[in-house]
Structure 1
Amino acid sequence: MTSFLLNQWRARPGGPQDPTPFMRSLGDASTTNRDKELIVKTFDDWEILTCTWFEVADYLSTIERLSEDKSFCERQRAALLASKVAYSLGDYPGALQLVLGADELFSLHARPAHAEYGPQDELYVNKIIEQAVDTYKQANRDGATIDARLQKLVDRIFDLNMEAKEYRYVVGLALDTRRLDQIERAVKASDEPANLLSETVSKVLGSQLDRAFRSRVLDVLLRLFSELAEPDFVSMCQCLIKLEKPGDVADILNRLVKNKDGELLAYQISFDLYENATQQFIQQIEKALALEATKPPSTPTPSAGAVTPTPPAEDEASSSTSTEDSPAGSLESSANTSGASSGSIPPDVLNALRRILRGEETIKHHMQFLIKNNHTDMLILKNIKDSVRMACTHNATVIANGLMHVGTTCDDFLRDNLEWISKATNWNKFNAVATLGLIHRGHEANALKLLDPYLPKGEADQFGYKEGGSLYAYGLIHANHGSDAAIDYLQKQLAGATTAAVRHGACLGLGVAALGSHSEPVYSQLREALYQDDAVVGEAAGTAMGLVMAASLDNNAFREMVQYISDTAHDKIQRGLRTGLSLLAYGRMEEVEPWVSELLEAKSSAILRQTAVCMLAMAYAGSGKADVVRRLLAKVAADPNQDVKRFAVIAVGFVLSK
């Protein structure tokens, strides 16, 4: 009888309306389970529900009780029906919780669109999948306990995409939900695992993943690369840079250069390393290669923990084919068969590698390019110069000239306007000489000769602005590429300086030349300069300490610098240390949170709160993390200090800089 009534009701003119009698029957104890099952089955259809959900919603609690009744055979369908009603009400978390009770009855394959009501089922299924993934992702990130039913649903979503061979989507979803097992599964199932791995590396390196999880992902990717017959060594080295494993990079370069077919690839990787790795990282690679070069000829054995490619199939035909098609990939196979990998690195190859790693080749070619493609409009500078009437705009014009001619070695504007330039006084004179470092950046071979008229010789003048500017210029010429000779020269000049301006320039020069080198001797000398408690010298020393230890997250440096902010009475020194401390945190993302929390708690010290905000800016620079932006905006709204507000706004720009 119930079946007949339902059919009559569905077929009435104008479509199904007023489902109240049937809904009341669901809650009536006198209604048989068989009848209730028929009603639930009938309403689990968008053709019915689209017209009646707003009335069915009044009985949602009744349907939910049925879904929890273990004696009710269609309890899973009741859960699915309840989920659809909750979805129609806009309660997406509730809809997800209800659909988990439907288990396999919830199909990930949407039904075809209805001619009259459209793709209602597709919209519903997509929304539930989206909600499930978001909920799972958040629970995973928060370390919360995950409902086993939700886990099963997410696994079904992965299975669906694996069946459709949407491996790139699987990888993206796995990164979002932190499922390393699914990344591995997708790569192994792919027809082009090498391409998928390389794309995944690019995705990971450009993503907003926190460092701890990113390191775990990169470890998995490295292992998968090493299992390939033809690994992508370039991508592997990108992973190793982020994992801070210079020894493994050196091992890869060593294996490549000992094979004639891998030599060019080793050079290409070395160029990439100079562009992307810190000075400290490259110096460690150089030391490892130098150590390898001194070893007596022997069959190499992989170092513990080193990443090595798995050799391809051992049959002769396969080996020869692989060698012709991809020299780098079949490196170990060809090396083992020919004996080419035995012995040390050839001296000429080692020297070439060193030149590339040290940036000598890159700098030379960059300079040649910039010299040939210098299209600076000198008329703009001339017009600005002719309209300058104040010392401030004079200084700005000189700095603008330096920025316009970075690396071009074109100092015509300065030479043609010597009389005008000579009007610079005090710190403007310092800046005018320092711009030579910008203009001649990379011109390292002739750096001392170029700056000879300005460098300290004998007794400096009373203030030493010109000499200080020249030392800063010398550091800028060697920026992020400080050779031992350059660092040693600047250290000697700092030790022998007699005026504050000269020490200021020497500190800044050391900072930019030893950028990211994490050199303890340089850091110690800068710390000594800081402890002299001279405002001018201390400002430069505080900044330079951060430059030298950039991205190191060195706890000792942090403690010393924070303590001195509290100890000194000089605003300039505090500002320099604020910059230096923020550089310690560069790119370290969530690892810097304990420091930031500690500094933000300094209610009585605005400079420490400013430092915390600047550390967030540098730690998350370019990450685009929305939660960090929200925290910074909260500081803009709530902090009582205007400088903290100002730096928080600036920090938002750094975080969103890409």
Structure 2
Amino acid sequence: MSVLVVNSASSALNELSESEPLLQVHALRVLNSVVDSFWPEISSYVPKIQALSESPSFPEPQLAALVAAKVLFYLGDIDQALEYALMAGDNFDVTEETEFSQTLRSRCIDLYVEIKSGSGPREREHLPSFTNTNLESGETTSFTVKEANFPVLERVVEDVFNDCLKKNETFEAVGIAIECRRLDKLKDAVATEKDPQRVPLLLDYCFRCSQGLVASKAYRTEVLYALVELYESQSIPDYVSICKCLGFLEDSKRVAEILARLLKEENEQSHLSCLQIALDLFDSDSPNFSRKLYEEFSLQFSEEKGGDKTLFHTIRSILNGTVPSALYLEFLYTKNHSENNVLKKVKQSLDARSSVNHTGLVLANGFMNAGTKNDAFLRENIEWLSRATNWAKFSATACLGLIHTRQASSALTLLSPYLSNEGGSTSAYAEGGALYALGFIVASASSFELTEPSLQQYIPVTARGLNSRSYLLSALRSAGNNEVIQHGACLGIGLACMGMATGDENDELYEELKGILYSDSAVAGQAAAFAIGLVLVGSGASRAIEEMVAYAHDTQHEKITRALAVCIALIMYGREEDADTLIDQLCDEKDPILRYGAMFTIGLAYCGTGENKATRRLLHVAVSDVNEDVRRAAVIALGFVLIRQPLQVPKIVKLLSESYHAHVRYGAAMAIGIACACTGSYHAIEILEHLSTDAVDFVRQAALIALSMVLMQQSEAMNSKVADIRRLFDRTISDKHEEVLSKFGAVLATGIINAGGKNCTIEFTSQSGFLRSRAIVGMTMFCQFWHWYPSAHFLSLSFRPSALIALTKDLKLPKMEFLCETKPSLFDYVKAASQEQKKEEEPVVSAVLSVSTHQRRRDRTKKTTSTESKVNTGTTAPMDLDTEKSKEQTKDSSKSKVEQQHESSSYRMENPTRVLPQQIPYVRIPSDSVFKGLTNIAHPGFILVQPKDTQVAVEYVSYQLYGYPVVQEDDMPQSSQTQEPMSQVEEPQPPAPFEYHED
């Protein structure tokens, strides 16, 4: 049977020109079948086909509309093609696997999403406006999809959705349902899933879509509540995932209800789930939510009068951060890989007379030893440290808070030599710095005080740790008119009480800080403004905003105005579209400092959302504002908005990094450092390496700091640039001709890249997807060191231990191992500087005198045979030595290669262990372990385990809780299982008070 091959559409087009409708219909059917091949020939007849599609007397107008749509599509007029495709009704089959159907199907969904999202006037300008022309009358009418074809558009979207379900493409259907704001279809998609094992994956995909696809905070709330309903409708509800969703919603009451319900069940699995929920929510690092949950959970327990009292206290010790902080402290102390010899080398290379260098080295020491309790460098260099004067002295004392972070129970004891109320130093700068340090110690411990009398009985006894906030407030009130002590006390209160104020008239803390602010003292007022932003972070308190903006207009002190600008940004953290009105107001201000605040307000309000509107606005200001500070802030704020899309940031800021404006280049470097922290991104490193050779010193400073952030916890096996970048830091520090600002950046970078004894990373999102508000606030304040060096200390809030810690239901550490199925060198610690230095020194050859050379040559000639003499003719002694050394080096190199080739493909790690986020896919509990995990290992942090056989005796790791009892001993009975005695680690005494000499 022969196949008829059509070579032209001319016959059908001739038939289309006939006046008989039946012939025209036949012609359209032929044209529809050949339009993909002969659309150029048909294009001249488009007006005729359009007229038929709009004629009320034509019998097949939808067929004509379909042919017109296809021709217009091939002509490149997508919007006009979509108009006629929608007019084609059922003839437009969205399920066809053709380029025409797929393209218009995507366009349909995009338009539907724009319409359903309630586009405002500005956004609606992007919606296509269609034009229809009546060929007989010549009249032209225009309309939008919403006005004419929205019902048809909705039908197309539903057809696409139903087709996905029919093909069992459930994940695609979920994505379409969420993006199109059809939560009814979302529930249908989950209900129609036939494979029970795919349902948890499907629900997890829903959660990830809600974070990645949904730009509106209000709609995201609807999606998460719908997801909670779907989780609860399952035969076995996943309470861990339910509480994760409720945690994002900050619905502390419902989370507390679930915890209390699980607590009452006589089921070990429920109790383990309860503990895992508490640990995951602690990892979210949201102090305000943690405090509310702590209070709600305590009330639930007291009302219910039931459940395991021991477990109740254990959960509370997690929620208030007592036990997790102690375990992290133990990890950082025992796994410390700090290299004080690096700091000594840096100290020798710096000009001791420069206060900037002094401050930089003290900060580097604080970052390098953050949380490790290792203050050996300070002890060994007391004389050098005593040279600090004024604010350098303040910063040096404050760094003790970084080193001794999480030691809330002994904070006042550690700092007593510097606190006048504790019988210590009477220096105002030392005391102010100590109060600042106290804030860091308490903030990092995540513990908090409760003020409700009915709940006082549940507060764990932690010596004097939980009284630190009261102490700070008392110190502020008794400071009199001493600006320095007021400054330190305000910053300490802001840190210790982060997120705990409301801004209402009855808020004593807010009113106290506002009184200091209104005193109009530049130094104290600056700290008070910062503190107000910290205690109100994320609250969106309208009254406080109005008062801060008003006072920013009234005050004559630039320090206070700038601090108020940052304060406003902190208050609007995470408010998204609720902050738009304020942002518009601040962007229109004549004062550039308030416009500077507007940029950080955009960055924090839309932090981690990737919102296109915010990104466009920041890019516009970055290239258009007349003030250099505002432009720099706009580029930095891009890093905060795009925290969840680190790979996009180098692409977006690449052109900005080549700007003629040095402040824009500085901002580009910092934005990359913030968004790409700990990623080791090669695109980021490429840009930053170029900026590290910039002609402007402060641009080089930013590039060096950003490089250290990007390469934190990166080994040479993971990233070949690590060794080169570390050498770059060393060269910059030792170069006598380098500018002091660049050296300051290199010194800070040295501390950052080795943070926490090489055991900490900078993380702005938890592995559960939460934005870590404390870390983001810390980085925001760190960026203010441009104007005020003591702000640099805040970076320590962004550090997170890279620890994997297995716990039993009693929060004990079992003796067990983890299996890492990759080569040990891949995620190993970076080699110590002493080892690298030794390697570099090996190839160095000693100088040889020419007289000795000639003598050895004569001696060798006498001893060798004639053949050997021929071979060695013209060979000098140094070359012989080099040859021997090269042979040895070749031998060592080949040995090293053999060792690498024979390196095992897996290894085991004892609990607790250092595990990087990139390492997680390779880590699991080995099959021969006596323990099994409650969940799979999905991220660094805490994982609950239980014995496979309850009859097997369990051994525990001995550790010291450093004064952090889990509960009151009278309230909690002793566990039936025995634990090895805790290691008695001798607590070192605090460094002697600095004796400062004002020269």
The answer to whether residue 263 in structure 2 is matched with residue 257 in structure 1 is yes
Moved more, 144-153 or 577-586: 144-153
Partner of 1:621: 607
Picking from 2, 9, 16, the partner of 2:8 is 16
Q: Which residue of 2 aligns with 1:442?
A: 406
Structure 1 counterpart of 2:31: 43
Check if 1:205 corresponds to 2:211: yes
Give the superposition deviation at 1:369: 1.5
CA distances 1:552-571 after superposition (whole Å, capped 9, x unpaired): 11111111111110111100
Post-superposition CA distance 1:509-565 (Å, at most 9, x none): 111111122353322221111111111111111111111111111111111111110
Give the partner amino acid of 1:245: D
Q: Residue type matched to 2:489 in 1?
A: A
Match runs of 1:258-297 below 5 Å: 258-261=264-267, 262-276=270-284, 278-295=286-303
Going from structure 1 to structure 2, the CA distance change for 1:436 and 1:289 (only over 3 Å counts) comes to same
Aligned to 1:370: 332
Q: 1:226 aligns with which of 226, 232, 237?
A: 232
1:487-566 map, 5 Å: 487-498=469-480, 499-518=482-501, 520-566=507-553
1:444-463 equivalences under 5 Å are: 444-457=408-421
Q: Name the CA distance, whole Å, in 2 between partners of 1:400 and 1:106.
A: 66
Cα pair 2:418 2:424 within 8 Å, conserved: no
Tell me what 2:46 maps to.
60
Are the counterparts in 2 of residues 87 and 124 from structure 1 also a CA contact under 8 Å?
A: yes
Q: Note closer, same or farther for the CA distance 1:557–1:482 as it changes in structure 2 (3 Å cut).
A: farther
Aligned equivalents of 1:420 and 1:85: distance in 2?
Answer: 81
Count how many residue pairs are aligned between Structure 1 and Structure 2: 586
Displacement of 1:100 = 0.7
Distance 1:260 1:409 in 2: 41
How many angstroms does 1:641 deviate by?
2.5
Work out whether residues 178 and 209 of structure 2, in 8 Å CA contact, stay in contact via their aligned partners in 1.
Answer: no
Q: Is the 8 A contact 2:321 2:447 kept in 1?
A: no
Structure 1 residues 377 and 462: CA distance shift in structure 2, 3 A: closer
Task: Report the residue type matching 2:473 in the other structure.
Answer: Q
Indicate the residue corresponding to 2:639 in structure 1.
653
SS in 1 for 2:68: helix
Deviation string for 1:352-372 (max 9, x for gaps)? 111010011111111111122
Match in the other structure for 1:479: 443
Provide, for residues 463-508 of structure 1, a one-character-per-residue CA deviation record: whole Å limited to 9, x for no partner. Answer: 6111111111110011152533221111111111142111111111
Residue type of the alignment partner of 2:246? L
Counterpart amino acid of residue 483 in structure 2: A
Tell me the equivalent position of 2:618: 632
Give 1:441 deviation, angstroms: 1.0
**Are residues 1:188 and 2:191 paired?**
yes
| Aligned AA (1:385) | K
CA drift at 1:206: 4.7
For 2:371, the equivalent position in structure 1 comes to 407
C-alpha contact (below 8 Å) 2:419/2:425 kept by paired residues: no
Residue matched to 2:740: none
Counterparts of 2:487 and 2:532, CA distance in 1: 13
For the residues of structure 1 that align with 2:406 and 2:425, how far apart are their CA atoms? 28
For the Cα contact (< 8 Å) 1:194–1:228, is it kept in 2?
Answer: no
Correspondence for 1:612? 598
Higher share in strand: 2
Q: Structure 1: how far apart are the matches of 2:94 and 2:532?
A: 57
How many Å separate the matches in 2 of 1:206 and 1:35?
A: 53
Structure 1 pair 234–490 and aligned structure 2 pair: CA distance change class (3 A): same
Q: Whole-Å Cα distance in 1 between the matches of residues 388 and 214 of structure 2?
A: 46
Contact 1:596 1:616 in 2 (8 A): yes
Secondary structure of 1:478's partner? helix
Between 384-393 and 62-71, report the one with greater CA deviation. Answer: 62-71
Q: What is the CA–CA distance in structure 2 between the aligned matches of 1:424 and 1:130, rounded to whole Å? A: 64
| TM-score (norm. length: structure 2) | 0.57
Shift of 1:242: 2.4
- For residues 235 and 458 of structure 1, the distance between their equivalents in structure 2, rounded to whole angstroms, comes to 47
Amino acid at match of 1:370: L
Q: What whole-Å deviation, never above 9, does each CA across 1:382-422 have from its counterpart, x for those lacking one? A: 11111111211111111011111111111111111111111
Displaced runs of 4 or more, over 6 A: 458-463
* Cα-to-partner distance string for 1:411-469 (whole Å, 9 max, x where unaligned): 11111111111111111111111111111110112111111111233799786111111
Kindly provide the amino acid, as one letter, of the partner of residue 269 in structure 1. I
Contact 2:179 2:214 in 1 (8 A): no
Task: Give, as a single letter, the amino acid of the residue that structure 2 aligns with 1:40.
Answer: L
C-alpha displacement at 1:208, in angstroms? 4.5
**Residues 471, 490 of structure 1: 8 Å contact kept:** yes
Question: Does 1:352 pair with 2:314?
Answer: yes
Cα pair 1:443 1:477 within 8 Å, conserved: yes
Instruction: Verify: 1:158 aligned to 2:158, yes or no.
Output: no
Corresponding residue to 2:560 among 573, 584, 601:
573
The residue number in structure 1 matching 2:936 is: none
Give the letter for the 2:486 counterpart: R
Contact (CA 8 Å) 1:493, 1:506: kept in 2 or not? yes
- Distance change >3 Å, CA 456–CA 63, structure 1 → 2: farther
- Tell me how far apart the structure 2 counterparts of residues 648 and 351 of structure 1 sit (CA, whole Å): 46
Question: Whole-Å Cα distance in 1 between the matches of residues 277 and 426 of structure 2?
Answer: 50
Q: Secondary structure at the match of 1:452?
A: helix
How far apart are the structure 2 equivalents of 1:460 and 1:638? 53
Higher mean alpha-carbon deviation, 34-43 vs 54-63, is at: 54-63
Structure 1's 462 and 194: CA in aligned 2 closer, same or farther, altered over 3 A? closer
Percent of aligned positions that are identical = 34
Give, in angstroms, the shift of residue 586 of structure 1: 1.2
Residue 596 of structure 1 aligns with which residue?
583
Q: More deviation in 230-239 or 147-156?
A: 230-239
2:81 is the counterpart of 1:95: yes
Question: Secondary structure of 1:408's partner?
Answer: coil
Q: In structure 1, list runs of 5 or more residues that go unmatched.
A: 1-6, 112-121, 301-342
Counterpart in 1 of 2:99? Answer: 123
Residue-by-residue CA offset, 1:601-647 (whole Å, 9 max, x unaligned)? 32x22222222221001111222222211111112233232222221
Q: CA deviation at 1:581?
A: 0.9
Partner of 2:245: 239
CA distance in 2, matches of 1:463, 1:411: 21
Q: Hey, what does 1:324 align to over in structure 2?
A: none
Distance 1:642 1:185, change over 3 A: same
**CA-CA distance at 1:11 after TM superposition:** 4.2
Give the Cα separation in 2 of the matches to 1:640 and 1:509. 36
For 1:109 and 1:168, the matched residues in 2 are separated by 17
Which 10-residue stretch deviates more, 284-293 or 539-548?
A: 284-293
Which residue number in structure 2 is paired with residue 464 of structure 1? 428
**What is the CA–CA distance in structure 1 between the aligned matches of 2:265 and 2:561, rounded to whole Å?**
54
Deviates more, 1:232-241 or 1:275-284: 275-284
TM-score, normalisation: structure 1: 0.85
Q: Point out where structure 2 has 5 or more consecutive residues left out of the alignment.
A: 125-145, 450-466, 645-999
Give the 3-state SS of the residue equivalent to 2:117 in structure 1.
Answer: helix
Partners of 1:461 and 1:436 in 2: how far apart?
A: 15
Question: Partners in 2 of 1:170 and 1:11 — Cα distance?
Answer: 40
1:51/1:198 Cα in 2 relative to 1: closer, same or farther (>3 Å)? closer
1:176 maps to which residue? Answer: 179
Higher relative contact order (CA 8 A, sep 6+): 2
Which AA in structure 1 matches 2:118? D
**More deviation, 261-270/69-78:** 69-78
